[in-house]
Amino acid sequence: MDSDFILRNQIVERYIGGRLPLKGAQEFERYCREHPELLEQIALTERINAALRLLDASGHAAPWEQRPKPWWERLPVLLGVLGLALILGVACVLMASRLAALERTLASLTQRALLQPLDPAQSTRAITVLPSRTGPVAHSMITIGGAGAQMAVLAIDMSWSAFNAYRIIIDRVDQGRVGVLHDIQRDSSGNVRIELNSSALGPGDYQFSIEGLTWRGEPVPQAWANIRFAH
- The residue ranges of every structural domain in the chain are 3-57, 71-115, 123-230
Q: Give the amino acid at 145.
A: G
**Residue 191: closest CA among 160, 227, 167, 228:** 160
Which pLDDT belongs to residue 166? 95
- Percent pLDDT > 70 in the chain is 74
Average pLDDT over residues 171-177: 88
What Rg, from alpha-carbon coordinates, does the chain have?
48
Query: CATH topology for 123-230?
Result: Immunoglobulin-like (2.60.40)
The residues, any chain, with a CB within 8 Å of residue 132's CB and separated by 6 or more, are: 223, 224, 225
Report yes or no on whether pTM surpasses 0.85.
no
Which pLDDT belongs to residue 207? 93
Higher-scoring residue by pLDDT: 133, 42: 133
Which pLDDT belongs to residue 44? 65
Q: Which of 98-107, 125-134, 202-211 has the lowest mean pLDDT?
A: 98-107
Backbone angles phi, psi at 153, to 5 degrees: -110, 100
What whole-number distance in Å separates Cα of residue 80 and Cα of residue 133? Answer: 72
What whole-number distance in Å separates Cα of residue 2 and Cα of residue 179? Answer: 112
**Residue 227: closest CA among 179, 173, 186, 174:** 173
